[in-house]
Amino acid sequence: MTETIYEKRPAEMQNQRRLPNNRRQIGQPALDTPEVFIEDYAFAFAKNLSERDYTGCVVGVLVGECIENGQGDKILVRGVLEAKDVLQHDVICFSEDNWAGIYRDIRDYFPTMQIVGWFLGGPGFLLEDMERQKKIQEDNFGGGNKILLKMDSAEKEQKVFGYKEGELRELPGYYVYYERNAEMQNYMAGVNLIYPKREEVRKEELRKEELRKEKEPAEEVSKMPAAEFPKSKGSFYQLFYATGGILTCIAILVIAGLAMQIQERNHLKELINQQEKLVSSIQKVYVAEEGETVESICIKFYGTEEKAEAIRLLNSLSEGEELIEGQKIFLP
């Protein structure tokens, strides 16, 4: 799905004065489907949720408002709430207790908003059961133009679905817009969810895979039948020493493997602690202007580029990644 930057334009119609102008377009929205606008803070929070666990799914509820102005329905998603404890043995089930918690969060953080859909995130192979998702849509999010936002954490893809004529159908495009959105910021601060960066998780997985491959030769030797050991004069002693040497090698590999696992856990804890310290050190939220970079923002506030890497880590930005006009940047 292609992404284009939506240029600011004057109010073309009075009925559109409530729609956000500062936005970017994803794909190509069609005239015969609802127009969906997702606020950037809510969009980023949903991505963080989807990348929290690469072995399972996460479910959320979308809140905002629907605008019906005679020129097609407009759906504004201004908040994403995590729906906790709705997964029972990998099956999504909204109980009365789940809904009580969801409505309590709406009352506390988004009192002026309504439910406009739901969110499903995780690796793509867990997001393929459209029949089950349609049943969830019909049982819990029927009536009006409720949408489904799906985020594939493995392929890094985001899709929006509308419900029409008894089917969930992917919308050809949508918008991500920018505003202060104090409600979503307060919710994010309230739940205080800190996760390791996706790149760091992948590095940890690769290191574990390398350790597994290193252990395979030792396991193959240990499974070798006794008949395959060389037999000659003094074969008993040869077998004795050979077996002792193999067991010693296996013991060394096992101890080394345990040491590496402990080192990996400590490394991951250190990454999480570093990110928690960065989040707790946030002093300012800055809105990027056209043509600005992390380095130029760093010089503007600190007079040097020394904190550029800290700003990238705090905002999950990669080196050289371009900033979009209106993008919110956390500053330490």
85 and 227: one domain?
no
| Mean pLDDT over each residue of the chain, to the nearest integer | 78
100 and 169: one domain?
yes
Query: Is 136 part of a structural domain of the chain?
Result: yes
Pairing of strands 328-331, 3-6: unpaired
240 and 164: one domain?
no
pLDDT grade, residue 307 (50/70/90)? confident
Secondary structure class of 306 (helix, strand, coil): coil
User: How many domains, the chain?
Assistant: 2
27 and 154: one domain?
yes
Query: Is 320 part of a structural domain of the chain?
Result: no
Residue 129: pLDDT over 50 = yes
pLDDT at 226: 43
Residue 315: pLDDT over 70 = yes
Quickly tell me which residue has 């867990």 as its tokens. 126
Cβ neighbour number for residue 185 with a 10 Å cutoff? 15
pLDDT at 8: 43
Query: Is 207 part of a structural domain of the chain?
Result: yes
pLDDT at 13: 40
pLDDT grade, residue 306 (50/70/90)? confident
Considering the chain, what percentage of its residues have pLDDT values greater than 70? Answer: 74
Residue-wise pLDDT for 82-122, tens only, equals: 998 888 877 888 999 999 999 999 999 999 999 999 999 98
Residue-wise pLDDT for 4-21, tens only, equals: 444 444 433 434 446 788
The CATH number of the domain where 44 resides is what?
Answer: 3.40.140.10
Q: Highest mean pLDDT: which of 86-90, 203-207, 292-296, 316-320?
A: 292-296
**Cβ–Cβ under 8 Å, residues 78 and 42:** yes
Residue 323: pLDDT over 50 = yes
CA 103 from centroid of its chain's CA atoms: 23
225 and 118: one domain?
no
End of a domain among 131, 162, 191?
Answer: 191
Distance (Å, rounded) from C-alpha 319 to C-alpha 271?
18
Q: What is the mean pLDDT of residues 292-303?
A: 88
79 and 8: one domain?
yes
Query: Is 326 part of a structural domain of the chain?
Result: no
241 and 143: one domain?
no
122 and 206: one domain?
no
186 and 245: one domain?
no
28 and 146: one domain?
yes
pLDDT at 15: 42
Residue-wise pLDDT for 59-81, tens only, equals: 999 999 988 766 678 899 999 99
Range of the domain at 20: 3-191
Distance (Å, rounded) from C-alpha 64 to C-alpha 321?
30
